[in-house]
Amino acid sequence: MKERKVIVYIAASLDGFIAKKDDDISFLSMVEQPDEDYGYGEFVRTVDTVIMGRKTYDKVLSFGIDFPHKERKCYVLSKTKKDTDENVEFYNGNLNELIHTLKNEEGKNIFIDGGAGAIKELKEQNLIDEYVISIIPVLLGNGIRLFAETENESRLQFVESKTFDTGLVQLHYRTFKD
């Protein structure tokens, strides 16, 4: 059985923000082009499980579109919401146990679809295997940081980088496991 990987796939400004202070992500549209998804379609075909924070889930719902992960098992990390809705299962248990349970099941990779709180918690527990970060060519100056401060250091191994005509640069790293 091939081991499932936990992969953060996300976009950020050059100065490391995934949103402005008011959760505004409109800066992402500056790199939108017809027929260019920066590898997202190919990536999501490799995953069957999605984990996201509750704020990210609420933001996705605010777009007024069909939930993009309907055909995948989706967990939303939330300290307040419980049970499920038509799209997701709300989860407030032990994250380490959830990841280990998922990794021991047959399946595709596990997509971490934001946000900063979820990524911080996963990173602190060394549960992330890979990072694919699309750098948007803008300096926001402030906002919600992709990587919140933590006490643990994570060494990364470079996998590849891709550049695009829009100025977007996509970085792919694998974590070193001790």
pLDDT in tens, 87-129: 899 999 999 999 999 999 999 999 999 899 999 999 999 999 9
Residue 170: closest CA among 146, 143, 137, 140 = 137
The whole-number pLDDT of residue 150 equals: 85
**How high is the pLDDT of residue 84?**
77
Per-residue confidence at 1, pLDDT binned at 50, 70, 90? low
Q: 6-175: what CATH class?
A: alpha beta
Q: How far is CA 145 from CA 7, 42, 68, 114, 155, in A?
A: 18, 26, 24, 11, 19
Tell me the CA distances in angstroms from 95 to 85, 110, 171, one per residue in order.
20, 13, 26
pLDDT tens digits along 121-176? 999 999 999 999 999 999 999 999 999 988 888 999 999 999 999 999 999 999 98
Domains in the chain: boundaries? 6-175
Coil vs helix vs strand at 45: coil
pLDDT tens digit string along 13-56? Answer: 999 999 999 999 999 999 999 999 999 999 999 999 999 999 99
